[in-house]
Structure 1
Amino acid sequence: MSPRAHRGCRHCQGFTLVELLIALLLTGLVAMLVFGAFRIATGSWERVIGHQERAHESYLVQTFVRRLLEQAQPLRVRDIETRLSVAMLGDAQQLVFVTELPTPRGLAELYWCQLRVVDPGDGRPRQLVMSTRPYTEGEVIDWRAPLESTGEGLNGEQIAIVEPQERVLLRGVAQLELEYLYYDDSDQPEWRNEWRDESVLPYLVRLRALPEGVDGLANEASVAFWPEVTVSPTEYRYGGKTLL
């Protein structure tokens, strides 16, 4: 075999070092691009799942709160100043009322219930909190702190003091917005942002929960987070006057 033919065969034997380095570099770039795309796709999927879980959690809490308000009881209670009113006190950001709650025995019993937003104050998101304690017939109420037992009955008898229980319903709630429907003297419906010293329950309660933004302040409520809830207490359900 001639020297020229021998040199031609050497060139056909494989890649040079430079070609191999270029091939490795291109392979690494392709792998990096594929990995980056995978990370982006995985992050997007996790965000979608997170939003779905958040929406589902909000829906469950909203359904529970709706049930609480539907079961609001038109009970009359007397306060420490001897005034008689319905068992409900509400303003634009919190609400106290008597409702039915299930017990470990499987029976529904009457409880005082308070819905409000609480700031833990340690950097954690604000929370929608429900505070409850058993309702006792004949107990005198201090509307300045309705969830705190006064231990006093209508005729001066002593009533066992029960400490309220607090449960976090939903995290990341910046504030509540509450409104109450009533009918004026001309029988026209109007919304007000307070329900105090009334003899009856409101015909409708309208409630929105505004989510926290990255700055900790309230963002506009989104349908996925908490659609506006409008609830009629059961006693008005078939009265034909709730506009529902």
Structure 2
Amino acid sequence: MIRQPTHRMQGFTLVELMIALLLTGMVAMLVFGAFRIATGSWERVVSQQERVHERYLVQTFVRRLLEQAQPLRLRDIDARLSVAMHGDREQLIFVTELPTRNGVAEFYWCQLRVKETETQLKQLIMTTRPYTEGEIIDWLAPFEPTGEGLNGEEIPFTEPEERVLLEGVAELEFEYLYYDQTDQPEWRREWVEESVLPYLIRFQVLPQDEDGLAGEADTAFWPELLVSPTEYRYGGKTLL
């Protein structure tokens, strides 16, 4: 009798199975690590783009505020007559146009400055309140009520509103272009008790460094803005 050959079923040994599982786990860890790195890089890129876009919107908004500065004349509490703008190197107060809830633009007092917070992070702040024709201003406290108006009229007071425009701002730097009697341009660091608006306003924002101090000017953070009030847009001056 001829016997038929028998075939044994070949299988994995326990050692081979453990090696296969180990290799599979290592491959999965490498793939997951690469995925986490790619995801983290993408999130950082998206976050950076969002910050750049936010700064661009703020820059556009601030430019519009300065362009719409109004050449109004008013008296202060010492009866001195001047244009409705008072500024130095670190802050600026002026009257501008802002849209209201009903869609109509109205005149508002506006102040741009840097405010320190309880944390180390500083903020670019805009403070506003409605402008009332005939009011008398205290330039040292422009958002506190004086209650005084021309001819002894009582001016109603509206509580100012404060808005955070941008965080991580260490300092502001304002400069104002003036033309003297000989028509020569001159940059000033103050605009106080003037009869007209400056021809140009130079506005720079300095970011905070790791120690919370003012870092160097960084055009990637905030490019230098040169803004001309609307009334000078076609005035024929040579703007620097």
Relative to the length of structure 1, the TM-score reads 0.89
2:134 aligned with 1:138: yes
2:59 aligned with 1:62: yes
Q: Residue 214 of structure 1: CA displacement?
A: 3.4
Check conservation: 1:114, 1:147, Cα contact below 8 A: no
2:168 aligned with 1:172: yes
The separation in 2 between residues aligned to 1:192 and 1:22, in whole angstroms, is 77
Residue pairs, 1:86-105, within 5 angstroms: 86-105=83-102
Match of 1:150 in 2: 146
Query: How far does the alpha carbon of each residue in 1:209-231 deviate from its partner, in whole angstroms, 9 at most, with x for none?
Result: 22233332333343343221110
Where do 5+ consecutive residues of structure 2 fail to align?
Answer: none
The separation in 1 between residues aligned to 2:79 and 2:238, in whole angstroms, is 31
Q: 1:188 aligns with which of 175, 184, 188?
A: 184
Relative distance call for 1:31 and 1:219 in structure 2 (3 A) is farther
Match of 2:11 in 1: 14
The separation in 2 between residues aligned to 1:76 and 1:153, in whole angstroms, is 13
Match of 2:116 in 1: 119
Q: Residue 54 of structure 1: CA displacement?
A: 0.9
Check conservation: 1:99, 1:111, Cα contact below 8 A: yes
Deviates more, 1:108-117 or 1:190-199: 190-199
2:155 aligned with 1:159: yes
Q: 1:206 aligns with which of 202, 221, 225?
A: 202
Aligned-partner residue type, residue 106 of structure 1: G
The separation in 2 between residues aligned to 1:213 and 1:158, in whole angstroms, is 47
The separation in 2 between residues aligned to 1:110 and 1:83, in whole angstroms, is 21
Q: Residue 142 of structure 1: CA displacement?
A: 0.6
2:50 aligned with 1:53: yes
Q: Residue 164 of structure 1: CA displacement?
A: 0.9
Relative distance call for 1:242 and 1:57 in structure 2 (3 A) is farther
Q: Residue 47 of structure 1: CA displacement?
A: 0.8
Q: Residue 104 of structure 1: CA displacement?
A: 1.3
Q: Residue 147 of structure 1: CA displacement?
A: 2.1
Check conservation: 1:128, 1:173, Cα contact below 8 A: yes
The separation in 2 between residues aligned to 1:30 and 1:205, in whole angstroms, is 60
Relative distance call for 1:24 and 1:214 in structure 2 (3 A) is farther
DSSP-derived class of the 1:41 partner: helix
Aligned-partner residue type, residue 170 of structure 1: L
2:55 aligned with 1:39: no
The separation in 2 between residues aligned to 1:211 and 1:15, in whole angstroms, is 64
The separation in 2 between residues aligned to 1:222 and 1:19, in whole angstroms, is 60
Q: Residue 190 of structure 1: CA displacement?
A: 1.8
The separation in 2 between residues aligned to 1:113 and 1:125, in whole angstroms, is 23
Aligned-partner residue type, residue 201 of structure 1: L
The separation in 1 between residues aligned to 2:87 and 2:45, in whole angstroms, is 36
Match of 1:220 in 2: 216
Match of 1:74 in 2: 71
The separation in 2 between residues aligned to 1:181 and 1:242, in whole angstroms, is 11
Q: Residue 27 of structure 1: CA displacement?
A: 1.8
Check conservation: 2:120, 2:212, Cα contact below 8 A: no
> Matched residues, percent identical?
74
Q: Residue 242 of structure 1: CA displacement?
A: 4.7
DSSP-derived class of the 2:86 partner: strand
2:227 aligned with 1:235: no
Relative distance call for 1:133 and 1:196 in structure 2 (3 A) is same
Where do 5+ consecutive residues of structure 1 fail to align?
Answer: none
